[in-house]
Amino acid sequence: MSARILVVDDIEANRRLLQAKLEAHYFNVLHAENGKQALDLARTELPDIILLDVMMPGMDGYEVCQRLKADARTSYIPVVMVTALNDTEDRIRGLEVGAEDFLTKPVDDFALMSRVGALMRYNAVASELRQRQASGLKAGAVEAISEEELNRAARAFVIDDNPRTSARVASMLRDAGHSATTLLEAGDMSNLSEMGVDILILSASSKAFDALKLCAHFRMTESTRAISMLLICDPADRSKAGRGLEIGANDVIFAPVDRQELLARVRTQTRRSRYIDMLRKRVDRGLELSVIDQLTGLYNRRYMVGQVQQLMQRSIMGGKPVSVVTCDIDHFKSVNDTYGHDVGDEVLQEVASRLMENVRPMDVVCRPGGEEFLVIMPDTPGDLACAAGERIRRAVASRPFSVSGGRREITLTVSAGVATIRGHDDTMADLLKRADTALYQAKSGGRNRVESIAA
């Protein structure tokens, strides 16, 4: 997996050095020698990752990063601050303006490639979700991603068989406001998902267990797959650190653990995992908005059309017949006119509920619009569809509708029309038109009845 990386540094030798390191691993490298050039390139080229020097004349790296994150076109591009400064305040400032990570000069090859590799894996997931979100959210707006939620204190679980180092890491996290539980305190690792753990911190030096096997296990297990993993390694054992990243660890930190680096790594990984989780929820919500009627919770017309077409095609290809039952609430306009639209909405919701109670799990219940409902019945001949229509009619007419918080009861009925696929030449438009014709006959015949044009 390759990527385009923008290297920003006012010193050409530094740019060339990073370029050589990255191109040796087949990355495509772009150059910028100052802040303005970096912003212009970021907007036009949209690189996958930006390596940004902090100390530059004119516009420093902090300001560049802040501007990148404020621009919707570039806000999602991960920024790694590259600095000769090792002060805690400088690192914190970089994170505060939106940087995802940092590297200290002189840049270590392993640190560079592990950070870039982790960001590439993150980018691959985030990019796909953003694309799905862009195509799936046209049906309506969803809530914005919350910075407060992204920055909420982490829940960490420390896996280390050494009581002293385990307690030290947990203490660092707790002092910074995070929640930390050690394996030695918990006794086992059976309830990680129930505990709401955001990040696992594993010591590769532990003797009682193989940290890399645990990484593989957690990554393959459904309940722990989304949890971030930070591996603590001996600096002399870089091959194990590299292997850990290949197996599934999100990041590596070397012993002895520096407090500020630990906090920065935990913050970065927790933010990334939460961002991915929020994107997934937004995509799911967008898909729901595109196919679900928000008042009743039934499928909408858009979904109905796709399902009817798909099931008719399956029937034409040799499957069993498909039938539809279209239902319409009798005299619904008078409900709205007499009691108001709020009561009308309650009635629609209750009709939807009674419909769902009287169909099979395989049936697809939709609300195409207004007071009309439609049940798609796979593998169902006309006589069975008529029986289902009659069952629905009785369920609606059998007891009054309690509305206005139980202060009022309304007696209502529905009329229904049934149609069944007629053969290879039948179309969705024809099928639905026959169902509407049958419905009209039920209305004309006195309402509160089921009519069929099944064959």
**202 close to 219: Cβ distance less than 8 angstroms:** no
CA pair distance 323, 67, nearest whole angstrom: 58
CA pair distance 300, 369, nearest whole angstrom: 8
Q: Which amino acid makes up residue 154?
A: A
Beta bridge partners of 179: 155
CA pair distance 113, 325, nearest whole angstrom: 60
Dihedral sign for Cα atoms in the order 159, 165, 167, 173: negative
Look up 371 and say whether it is catalytic: yes
CA pair distance 105, 82, nearest whole angstrom: 7
CA pair distance 5, 78, nearest whole angstrom: 10
Among 192, 202, 152, 153, CA closest to 173: 153
Give the list of residues 6+ apart from residue 424 with CB closer than 8 angstroms, or none: 316
SS3 at position 374: strand
Neighbours of 87 (CB within 10 A): 10
Among 247, 218, 253, CA closest to 121: 247
CA pair distance 384, 3, nearest whole angstrom: 58
CA pair distance 424, 126, nearest whole angstrom: 44
372-377 and 323-329 as β-strands: parallel, antiparallel, unpaired? antiparallel
- Which one of 33, 45, 288, 371 is the catalytic residue? 371
Kindly list the catalytic residues. Answer: 371
